[in-house]
Amino acid sequence: MAVAFLADWCAPCRLLRPTLTQVARKLPDGVLLAEVDVDADPGLASRYHVEVLPTLIAFRHGRPILRLTGSQVNEQLQDALRGVANPRRAEE
């Protein structure tokens, strides 16, 4: 699972949303991509020490294993999330 921490007022977040939508469609089975509005849920953002927007955190077995901050290119996100889905493949 990966969670994108975003805010409506954040220009880079608005630019990233279409990329997140495209990437989510291409994710392997078993990888879920969710969005959290940090203004609506500041406690969750605080719990994961989100200080920069946008921030994407990938989890495995409930633990953060990957953190990306700032705008990302479609290919970067796809590669990172494929590695989350299949860690052996990411090591190759």
- Asked about 78 being catalytic, the answer comes back as no
- Asked about 13 being catalytic, the answer comes back as yes
From the candidates 10, 27, 44, 66, give the one annotated as an active-site residue.
10
Q: Is 4 exposed, middle or buried (0-12, 13-18, 19+ CB in 10 A)?
A: buried
Dist CA 92 CA 86 (whole Å)? 11
From the candidates 2, 4, 6, 13, give the one annotated as an active-site residue.
13
Q: Residues with catalytic annotation?
A: 10, 13
